[in-house]
A = this chain, B = another copy of it.
Amino acid sequence: MLFRQLFDAQTSTYTYLIADESTKEAVLVDPVIEQVDRDYKLIKELGLNLYYCIETHIHADHITATYKLRKLTGCLGVVPAKAKVNCADIRIEEGDNLGVGGVNIEVISTPGHTSCHMAYLVGEDRVLTGDALFIRGCGRTDFQNGDAGTLYDSVTQKLFTLPDETLVYPAHDYRGNTVSTIGEEKQFNSRFARRTREEFIELMNNLDLPNPKKMMEAVPANEMCGKVAA
This protein's copies in its complex? 2
Per-position binary interface string of chain A over residues 182-226, scored 1 when its CB falls under 8 Å from any chain B CB and 0 otherwise: 001001100000000000000000000000000000000000000
Partner of A9, one of B35, B176, B187: B176
Q: Which residues of A contact B (CB under 8 A)?
A: 4-9, 35, 38, 42, 45-46, 175-179, 184, 187-188
CB-CB < 8 A to A187: which residues of B? Answer: 45
CB distance from A113 to the nearest CB of B (A): 23
Question: Do B176 and A35 touch across chains, with their CB atoms under 8 A apart?
Answer: yes
Partner of A175, one of B5, B38, B184, B188: B38
Partner of A178, one of B8, B9, B35, B178: B178
A104 to B136, CA, bound (A): 30
Closest B residue by C-beta to A165: B21
CB-CB < 8 A to A5: which residues of B? Answer: 178-179
Question: Do A188 and B4 touch across chains, with their CB atoms under 8 A apart?
Answer: no
CB-CB < 8 A to A175: which residues of B? Answer: 38
CB-CB < 8 A to A188: which residues of B? Answer: 45
Question: Do B176 and A7 touch across chains, with their CB atoms under 8 A apart?
Answer: yes
Q: A35-B176, A176-B35, A176-B38 are in contact. Are A184 and B45 (CB under 8 A)?
A: yes
A-B contact pairs, 14 of them (CB 8 A): A4-B177, A5-B178, A6-B176, A7-B176, A7-B177, A8-B176, A9-B9, A9-B176, A38-B176, A38-B177, A42-B177, A45-B184, A45-B188, A178-B178
CB-CB < 8 A to A45: which residues of B? Answer: 184, 187-188
A193 to B6, CA, bound (A): 23
Question: Do B38 and A178 touch across chains, with their CB atoms under 8 A apart?
Answer: no
5 smallest CB-CB distances across A and B, nearest first, come from A7-B176, A5-B178, A45-B188, A6-B176, A8-B176
CB distance from A29 to the nearest CB of B (A): 15
A25 to B176, CA, bound (A): 22
A51 to B21, CA, bound (A): 37
CB distance from A186 to the nearest CB of B (A): 12
A11 to B137, CA, bound (A): 24
CB distance from A208 to the nearest CB of B (A): 24
CB distance from A168 to the nearest CB of B (A): 12
